[in-house]
Amino acid sequence: MSRTRVTSFAISLDGFGTGEPQTRETPFGHAGERLHEWMFATRWWRGANEPGGSRGVDDAFARQFEPGIGAEIMGANKFGPPGWHEDPDWKGWWGPNPPFHTPTFVLTHHAREPIEMEGGTTFYFVEGTPQEVLEQVREAAGGKDVRIGGGATIIRDFLSAGLIDHLHVVQVPILLGRGSRLWDGLEGLEKDFDVEAVTSPSGVTHLTFTRTEG
Amino acid sequence: MSRTRVTSFAISLDGFGTGEPQTRETPFGHAGERLHEWMFATRWWRGANEPGGSRGVDDAFARQFEPGIGAEIMGANKFGPPGWHEDPDWKGWWGPNPPFHTPTFVLTHHAREPIEMEGGTTFYFVEGTPQEVLEQVREAAGGKDVRIGGGATIIRDFLSAGLIDHLHVVQVPILLGRGSRLWDGLEGLEKDFDVEAVTSPSGVTHLTFTRTEG
Ligand SMILES: NC(=O)c1ccc[n+]([C@@H]2O[C@H](COP(=O)([O-])OP(=O)(O)OC[C@H]3O[C@@H](n4cnc5c(N)ncnc54)[C@H](OP(=O)(O)O)[C@@H]3O)[C@@H](O)[C@H]2O)c1
Ligand SMILES: NC(=O)c1ccc[n+]([C@@H]2O[C@H](COP(=O)([O-])OP(=O)(O)OC[C@H]3O[C@@H](n4cnc5c(N)ncnc54)[C@H](OP(=O)(O)O)[C@@H]3O)[C@@H](O)[C@H]2O)c1
């Protein structure tokens, strides 16, 4: 069965999935690259062109990004900084060949025509409740899993709607103080999930929420 | 040298050190006992009168509560529920022989005469900036360490003032959604500390902040 999954969503100890302000030059605001240094150090991230990289628990989790995923849903603020919709040439942060390689649905109140990129990524711009959008995206995923790609706002919305089956959050030992916070308004979330935590020698803690069956 | 230490301060994943509302019957509000179940399961907590209990990492941390401590500072809301100062007979939640066994300073705008309890605990009621109060309490601690006993509000205040040397926080995998939150307004806190995280088979994650020397 097709599941909805959040993979490697990084937050600070105080729960922020990004800093502020978000601009073209600073997609994560004052957080800079600090939320993702653990990932940049993995064998998986370095890939074919760069030697080395850790092969431990960070790498094991990071590798779950692509396998089994048939489509992604992301929020408007992950696709671009405030005002991106006023630039008809904006195609996201990821260059001509984005790392998604599947249909990728951008939740936004500023819909535009789909953008076909290299490597299998097509950006679709959609509006609707999480339920409505998920129905449409499952179709596009062709029976595979759907990645809920963030940011914090849409992950929170999908969690509130009970639409996430597997949540993997990476807690980085920094305090951002401001930005977009994941955990607001989710009292009692753990009741529907098996929760595990494991720390890595890199200093981050991997938290996994797996929806309890039956 | 006398250090200031926070030991076993428990928070939810969303950072709350207590739920709400706090009443005589519910010192932790809707959190109930969920923030401290990991501690109740330790050998240390069970003590001489109860057999069993875990002897792992939770126990190792819990045991650090008493050794080397010469005095405690706590907030008014740890001492009692809203309105406690209107009851001249209120002596805290802990019965005739509280677990502190040292001079214990309650930060409050409703000062009253000291209360001498059994077993070495005397409650003093004080007002002032964290700096001022700490100076007075260090005196009372006689060269030993000072425990900053919580709740979240006073720990935050002492952290902001740069007055905590060692912070041990226990993150419990629940989402409380509301209450008193530890991590607000502490952007960049990690810069002054060595931070470690370790998870326990009980499901909690121990976070330690140790002030960088020099
Ligand atoms: N930490 C990580 O691992 C990670 C991962 C991914 C992204 N990020 C970062 O997170 C930040 C973005 O997160 P965020 O919380 O600010 O925002 P977000 O979740 O990316 O996007 C929220 C926005 O999406 C649009 N939207 C949401 N629901 C919608 C619906 N049902 N229908 C139509 N539009 C809808 C709205 O924008 P409009 O009304 O303007 O269209 C809303 O303001 C970025 O800085 C990104 O780089 C971090
Ligand atoms: N999770 C844990 O491990 C743990 C540990 C300890 C306590 N707790 C719980 O935490 C809760 C209390 O935390 P909290 O954040 O609500 O409050 P708190 O930190 O216990 O107390 C804050 C109060 O202390 C007084 N105060 C603070 N600074 C002062 C100063 N400089 N001078 C004079 N008075 C000052 C003020 O009260 P007034 O103005 O009213 O006097 C203030 O509202 C309780 O439910 C307690 O059971 C949890």
A57 touches chain B (CB under 8 A): no
Helices H, strands E: what count in chain A? 6, 11
Provide the ipTM: 0.94
Q: What are phi and psi of A80, to 5 degrees?
A: -170, 165
Q: pLDDT over 70 for what percent of chain B?
A: 100
Share the mean pLDDT of chain B: 97
Is it the case that residue B192 has pLDDT exceeding 70? yes
Mean pLDDT of B128-134: 98
Q: Are B190 and A199 in contact (CB < 8 Å)?
A: no
Would the CB atoms of B15 and A183 count as touching at under 8 Å? yes
* Residue B21 Cα, gap to closest chain A Cα (Å): 15
Ligand 2 pocket, B19 CB below 6 A? no
Gap from CA of A75 to ligand 1 centroid (Å) = 3
Cβ partners under 8 Å of residue A3, min gap 6: A145, A146, A165, A166
Contact between B21 and B77 (Cβ < 8 Å): no
Cβ distance B177 to A197 less than 8 Å, yes or no, reads no
Q: Does B32 touch chain A (CB under 8 A)?
A: no
Q: How far apart are CA A103 and CA B210, in angstroms?
A: 46
Burial of A23 (0-12, 13-18, 19+ CB in 10 A): exposed
Question: CA dihedral in degrees (A135, A141, A146, A152; nearest 10)?
Answer: -70
Q: Which ranges constitute the DSSP H helices of chain B?
A: 37-40, 43-46, 57-62, 76-79, 130-141, 152-160
Question: Rounded to an integer, what distance in angstroms lies between the CA atom of residue A125 and that of residue A76?
Answer: 9
| Mean pLDDT calculated for residue range B158-183 | 98
**The two three-digit tokens of residue B168, written as one number:** 């041990």
CB contacts under 8 A, B 175-214 vs A, are 175-178, 183-190, 195-199, 203-205, 207
Dist. CA B150 → ligand 2 center (Å):
6
Amino acid present at B52: G
- Contacts of A44 by beta carbon, 8 Å cutoff, 6+ apart: A53, A59, A62, A63, A65
According to CATH, the superfamily of the domain at A4-211 is Dihydrofolate Reductase, subunit A (3.40.430.10)
State the helix-helix crossing angle for B152-160 and B130-141, rounded to 10 degrees: 100
pLDDT for B214 beyond 70? no
Search chain B and give the residue with CA nearest A172.
B197
- Mutate one of B159, B164, B183 to test the A interface: name it (highest A CB count within 10 A): B183
Q: Rounded distance, CA A199 to CA B91, Å?
A: 41
What residues does each domain of chain B span?
4-211
B154 Cβ closer than 6 Å to some ligand 2 atom? yes
| Mean pLDDT for the stretch of residues B141-163 | 98
pLDDT at A214: 64
| pLDDT profile of chain A (214 residues), mean per 10 | 96 98 95 98 94 97 98 98 95 97 98 97 98 98 97 98 98 98 98 98 98 84
CA distance A127 to A105: 10
Burial of B27 (0-12, 13-18, 19+ CB in 10 A): middle
The Cα–Cα gap between B31 and A182 comes to 20
Indicate the Cα dihedral angle B8, B10, B13, B16, nearest 10°.
-140
β-partners of residue A19 are none
Return the structure tokens found at B140.
């009372």
Tell me, yes or no, if A56 comes closer than 8 A to chain B by beta carbon.
Answer: no
pLDDT band at B193 (very low <50, low <70, confident <90, very high): very high
pLDDT band at B173 (very low <50, low <70, confident <90, very high): very high
> Is 90 exceeded by the pLDDT of residue B1?
no
Q: Is the four-CA dihedral A212, A58, A176, A74 of positive or negative sign? A: negative
**Ligand 2 binding pocket includes B10 (Cβ within 6 Å):** yes
Pairing relationship of beta strands A205-211 and A166-172 according to DSSP bridges: antiparallel
B185 is written with which tokens? 């307004």
Per-residue confidence (pLDDT) for residue B48, from 0 to 100: 87
